[in-house]
Chains A and B, each alone.
Chain A
Amino acid sequence: MSAEQEQMDQFERLLELGFLRERRKEMKRRLQFEEHYIERLTSPKIEYPKGIKFQKTTSADFDKIKFRGATRILEEKRQAKIKKIKNYMIFIALIVIALAAVLYYFSE
């Protein structure tokens, strides 16, 4: 194995670890939030609001995945395609019905 290839492999491993660290951090943060949320539910304390009253942290604030999952995107595309085909078919059916009605009217 050439030295350059070895360096590239080392960098790939570093990249892998970098993203792994990021994912673990995100998960840990979110789970810590869950823990805090459960604690507040099980032993509620009276909290006197200070400053901004209606700014709440929700679990959705911890979803830091930057891009939507590929399977989800592809599924959405598939559904959009199906919907488009359905619309075309309805449109064609309506035209056929209208034509049939016109033909029936003139045939009498």
Chain B
Amino acid sequence: MTELELLRNDAHYYTIVYRQHRAVVYQHLKQFTNDEAYLADLFQDAIIVLFEKARDPEFTLTCSVRTYLIAICRNQIFKRAGRTPEIVSLEGEPTNYNDWLGNQVEIERKKSQLDRLDAALREFEYMAKKCYELLYRFFYMKESFELIAKVMGYTNADNAKNQKARCQKKLRELYLEEK
């Protein structure tokens, strides 16, 4: 099994990747800075980018995981320094992490709304456990409707999808009440 497949199948494999590649990636990045805390922050974000990308079934890796991680870290250094990111491309694959960064920017922009949603979700978890599980499985664990239907006892994927819409509506009402 390749590292990418292991990342896809094992929810905690990223910690092994972290231990495996940490020393070499740090060594490579020390040409930019010697600040260990900064390097750790960069490397941790790179691992999160890799993990999220690995979850996408269409994502393929044409280089080694280590090269990919180094490329993301380098792009981050340029981006954080306020310079135009030097997109380090690897054999035709741009390791641009803009979509990851785009989401991060949006998360920071909507912080107050998300905090309110968190409060509503905590209440929702207590109020409607099954609905919460369905939403958690779909959004957090990224499971398909087919799998959700099987594991939660819905007759088919369409049924699970309809249930998700109903749960979402209920949660929205709760969220609006929180306002």
**What are the 8 closest A-B residue pairs judged by CB atoms, nearest first?**
A19-B139, A70-B151, A70-B147, A31-B44, A19-B140, A18-B117, A35-B40, A21-B107
In the assembled complex, the Cα of A38 lies from the Cα of B141 at a distance in Å of 28
A6-46 contacts to B (CB < 8 Å)? 8, 11-12, 14-24, 27-28, 30-32, 34-35, 38
Q: Is there an interface contact between B135 and A15, defined as CB atoms closer than 8 Å?
A: yes
Given A18-B121, A38-B22, are A70 and B140 also a contact pair (CB < 8 Å)? no
A3 to chain B minimum Cβ distance, whole angstroms, is: 14
Q: How large is the interface on B (under 10, 10 to 19, 20 to 34, 35 or more residues)?
A: 35 or more
What secondary structure prevails in chain B residues at the interface with A? helix
Scan residues 98-154 of chain B and give those whose CB is less than 8 A from a CB of chain A: 103-104, 106-107, 110, 113-114, 117-118, 121, 133, 135-137, 139-141, 143, 147-148, 150-151
- 5 A-B pairs, CB-CB below 8 angstroms? A11-B175, A12-B168, A34-B15, A35-B44, A59-B15
Which range holds the interface residue count of chain A?
20 to 34
Q: Is B18 an interface residue (CB 8 A)?
A: yes
Q: With A17-B114, A31-B18 given, is the CB distance from A66 to B168 under 8 Å? A: no
Interface residues of B (CB under 8 A from A): 11-12, 14-15, 18-19, 22, 40, 44, 47-48, 51, 103-104, 106-107, 110, 113-114, 117-118, 121, 133, 135-137, 139-141, 143, 147-148, 150-151, 168-169, 171-172, 175
Given contacts A12-B168, A14-B117, contact A20 B19 (CB under 8 A): no
Closest CB-CB distance, B62 to chain A, in whole Å?
Answer: 25
